Every structure is written in C-alpha cells, then in structure tokens.
Amino acid sequence: MSPAATLGTVLLAYLPAAVSPGPNFVLIAHTAAAGTRRTAVSVALGVVAAGGLLAAVAVFGLGAVLARTPWLATALRVVCGAYLAWLGIRLWLRARAPESAPPAARGGAFRQGVVSNLTNPKAAAFFGSVLTATLPPSEPAGIKVAAVALIVTASAVWHLSVALLFSAPATQRWYEHAKPALNRVVGTILVVLGVALAVTP
C-alpha cells in the first residue's frame, strides 16, 4: 500500500471515532455552552494534546505489545466498551440534573481536557486497537510520524469546531433548553457504542 493510501486509511478510521459523541464531545460542548469560548477552546486543546500523545504511544509501541498479546487487546476492548455503556446510562439517569460548573481557568480547563482524553475508553479503544490495525508496526517511522500529525490536525479541527459552535450565544440558549433530551440521545449512543465495542471481535 502506498504512503498516501496508508495515511488515507488512518484518517478514514479516525474520523468516525473522533466525531462520534463521547466523553470528550460532552465535556467540550458543555463547557462551551455553559461557560466561555476561551475556556472551551482550552479544554479542546487539552483533548487534542492528549490524543497526540496516545497516538504516538500507539504507533511507536503499544501496537507491538497488543500484537503479541491478543488477550490484552480483547480485555481492553471489553473493559472500555463496558465503561462507555456505563457512562451512557449515567448520562441518561442524570439528564435533568443540574450541571456542575465548568472549569474557570484556562490552565484548569486544559488539564481537564487532557485528563478527559487520557481516561477516555473510546480513545483507548481506538488507539489501542483500530489505529494499530490500520498502521502495522512494520510501517516506516516517517509514515508513523505523518499519521500522528494527521490525527492531531484532524482532532484539532473537529474539537475546536465543537468549542466554537457550542460557545455561540444562539447555541448556548438552545443547549440550555435541549439539554435533557440531548443528554438522553448522547447517553443512548454511548450505550450502543459501548455494547458494540465490547461484543465485536
């Protein structure tokens, strides 16, 4: 496969994982809708930075470990799927509960974005299994670096777009009105994604 085709495959694999609703999306959207644009951008940048770190770890080491220990990859998939489903159920149950205040300081917001992505089971599942499958350890180092850069760029475009969209005044007013229904929709999607992740080899 040519380098361009390999990178195209990586991008096509990453985009659905990035844009599908998950903990990072909920955190950025809530922070943007309930707080300020600057704070939401800081959270988004934290998510992007953590994603770049996870991608680098995956393509330069984790893939080889998982290739040698298939049971670890299976365990990771099941645990992450179960956690996603649990998050979805909790979001459903707390759909009408008052939201906690978003982080006020940019430094705190950035750290919250980093922690959100580093502990995000959807990210762990993608970087630990899907990415390592589309970008085998045998690929040249240059292709791996390009793949990480491509993922960081796509992540920045998407997550910053979410921050900017949900921090618009009109969106903030809509979000406040639609929050219970939106939380139930996102919760349902998380449950479906979690179950599918856990049961699909």
Residue 113: burial class (beta carbons within 10 Å; 0-12, 13-18, 19+) = buried
Give the pLDDT confidence score for residue 44 in this predicted structure: 94
Give the pLDDT confidence score for residue 23 in this predicted structure: 78
CA distance 149 to 164: 22
Q: Give the mean pLDDT per block of 10 residues along the chain (201 residues).
A: 81 79 81 84 93 85 66 72 75 67 63 82 70 72 89 94 91 78 77 75 64
User: For residue 200, which of 120, 132, 130, 151 has the smallest C-alpha distance?
Assistant: 130
Give the pLDDT confidence score for residue 42 in this predicted structure: 93
Give the pLDDT confidence score for residue 128 in this predicted structure: 67
Residue 51: burial class (beta carbons within 10 Å; 0-12, 13-18, 19+) = buried
List Cα–Cα distances, 110 to 38, 119, 153, in angstroms. 11, 14, 17
| Alpha helices per DSSP H over the chain | 3-19, 23-34, 37-57, 63-68, 70-93, 106-118, 121-125, 131-134, 141-166, 169-199
Q: What are 191's two structure tokens? A: 């449950």
> Quick one: DSSP state of residue 66?
H
CA distance 143 to 149: 10
Query: Residue 183 in contact with residue 95, Cβ under 8 Å?
Result: yes
Q: Which residues contact 166 (CB under 8 A, 6 or more apart)?
A: 28, 29, 32, 33, 40, 172, 175
Give the pLDDT confidence score for residue 140 in this predicted structure: 84
